[in-house]
Structure 1
Amino acid sequence: MRIKCWGSRGSVCVSGQQYIKYGGDTTCFEIQADSGEIVIIDAGTGIRRLGKHLVQNKVKTCYLLLTHTHWDHIIGLPFFHPLLYGNTTVHIQDRTFAGLTTKKVIEQVMRMPFFPVGLTAYNADIRFDASLNKRFSIGSLDIEAIPTSHSQNSLGYKFTEKGKTFVFLTDNELGYVHARGKSVEEYIDFSKNADVLFHDTEYTDNEYLNRTGWGHSCLSDVLDLSARASVGQLGLIHINQDRSDDQVDVMVDHGRRFFNDNHLSISCYAVSADFEIFL
């Protein structure tokens, strides 16, 4: 599988010289199966660039999975260029968020006075698919979902293909169990021996002291999870909207020292926009 980041910023998109290295777009990740299917995780502002890329490369079908529907994870959807073309099919995972179906959530966001164009105005064949939940397959990808410790109905995902595993856990607070969230031990089990783990690392340890219960993890908790799960690589995601490139580098250096001091061969990095990896 091929994994590419189109946005890993948290809460709100940002711009400025201090954000060039890691980028300012909010959450959007592309996974391409060896069998060719394109799976998208979240429709943050990064999905705008991804959509242009898909149109340029004449991709006619894609699948969209949502971790949850907070603004920073869906706000880019109206600007997803494939939706403009009638020869495109977009399969969107259908489930409920606070009692609303995925379609109802999107319809509420894409209407006046919030947005001038409704969902039905787009030309693409938009299909809401309830089968894209719990355990399912898309092409050669086997996918499993797990509730995250964040908000009602938020999910993380595990992708497995040809013996390789990628785990994606954004907006997941390891230091506090939210309603329907899981224990740290369950997230360790879910991530066990993953080749690559991308995990929400919104806060430094000092910041987290005043933000417990806000739905995001601090660096030490993520490092501990990665070590106990024996993952191969750890990518830090949901980068705080105020975190400069230099400050992100400090967190990465801390992670690398932690793994080195504990004689662990886990690779640690922050996931930047346009980062790409093949498994």
Structure 2
Amino acid sequence: MRVKFWGTRGSVPVPGPATLRYGGNTTCVEVEGQDGTLLVIDAGTGIRSLGNDLMKRNKQLRLHVLLTHYHWDHIQGWPFFMPAFLPGNEFIVFGRSSSADQLKGLFGNQMRSTYFPVEFDKLPSKFEFVPLKENSLKIGELHIQTIENCHPGGAFGLRILEKQRAFVFLTDHEAGLKEKLPHSYEDYVKFSKGAELLVHDAQFTDDELANRRTWGHSSFEEAHKLAEDSGAKRLAFTHHAPERIDFEIDRIINSLMDGRVSSIDAFGLMEGMEFTI
């Protein structure tokens, strides 16, 4: 599968010269299976650039959109996703909800006329809404498992498997809050086991977490521990704090890895990075 990251920032977009390398757009991931199946994870502001890129490909779309949760930084880019404004394009939207109607409301209400000039129901493209619980599903040849993350209001972590090679996405997860984890720590280790690429929330450092517990985000140190315990091959730190400039991300990772003996290739995830898994 091909995996490209169109947004890696947490909380709020932060464009500017100090965030050019790691990027200022909020979470959006494109996954393409070997059979051409297209999956988008989350619809933060990065989805706008993805949409512009898809328009250049000049193909009618059947696109699967999987939302880990509905916090603003994970859905706020959708009203600016140009392919949704084209007749004939089709979108299958998956998300945590009890019904298709509830999911449509959670996703589409940001386009009510109070907030946006084009209402969701006026979009000419086709939509199907699929409520998702903690389980597994198959989209094309992509086998997807979900796990409930430790995050206020809930969020899903994802394990995507194709031909026995796994991509694991654990953003908006507080790995170190063991007394409040929806599952045991060992379950998250098992979920991430042997991943070719583990992308993990690292919004804070251990020191910063002291007065930010229960916010639903991990530290660089916690993310690295989970990667080591699970035997992941590569670890990408994501959901960068909005105040964290490029230099600071470099400094934190260099300090974390300096002198550490580890078989893991650990790095900060940059907007625009693409991997073949």
TM-score range, shorter chain: over 0.9
Deviation at 1:185, TM superposition (A): 1.5
Aligned residue number for residue 43 of structure 1: 43
Aligned residue number for residue 261 of structure 1: 260
Percent of matched pairs sharing the same residue: 35
Separation in structure 2 between the aligned mates of residue 180 and residue 230 of structure 1, nearest angstrom: 21
3-state SS of 2:88 partner: coil
Deviation at 1:97, TM superposition (A): 7.7
Aligned residue number for residue 16 of structure 2: 16
Is the CA contact 1:98–1:153 (under 8 Å) kept in the aligned structure 2? no
Is the CA contact 1:98–1:152 (under 8 Å) kept in the aligned structure 2? no
Q: Is 1:227 aligned to 2:228, yes or no?
A: yes
Aligned residue number for residue 149 of structure 1: 150
Separation in structure 2 between the aligned mates of residue 162 and residue 3 of structure 1, nearest angstrom: 15
Deviation string, structure 1 residues 45-70 (Cα, Å, up to 9, x no partner): 00000011112112411100011000
User: Which residue identity does 1:269 align to in structure 2?
Assistant: F
Deviation at 1:204, TM superposition (A): 1.1
Say if 1:142 and 1:275 are closer, same or farther in 2 by CA, change over 3 A. same
Q: Give the count of matched residue pairs.
A: 276
Say if 1:132 and 1:36 are closer, same or farther in 2 by CA, change over 3 A. farther
3-state SS of 2:106 partner: helix
Q: Is 1:52 aligned to 2:52, yes or no?
A: yes
Return the TM-score normalized by structure 1: 0.93
Say if 1:26 and 1:224 are closer, same or farther in 2 by CA, change over 3 A. same
Report matched runs for 1:192-203 at 5 Å. Answer: 192-203=193-204
Is the CA contact 1:152–1:179 (under 8 Å) kept in the aligned structure 2? no
3-state SS of 2:257 partner: helix
Deviation string, structure 1 residues 89-139 (Cα, Å, up to 9, x no partner): 011014418998220112322113222221111111111123686211111
Separation in structure 2 between the aligned mates of residue 177 and residue 99 of structure 1, nearest angstrom: 32
3-state SS of 2:160 partner: strand
Aligned residue number for residue 272 of structure 1: 270
> Where does structure 1 lack aligned partners over 5 or more consecutive residues?
none
Say if 1:99 and 1:54 are closer, same or farther in 2 by CA, change over 3 A. closer
Deviation at 1:255, TM superposition (A): 3.9
CA RMSD of aligned residues (A): 2.0
Deviation at 1:154, TM superposition (A): 1.0
Separation in structure 2 between the aligned mates of residue 274 and residue 38 of structure 1, nearest angstrom: 17
The ranges of structure 1 where at least 4 consecutive aligned residues each deviate by more than 6 angstroms after the TM superposition are 97-100
Separation in structure 2 between the aligned mates of residue 94 and residue 159 of structure 1, nearest angstrom: 16
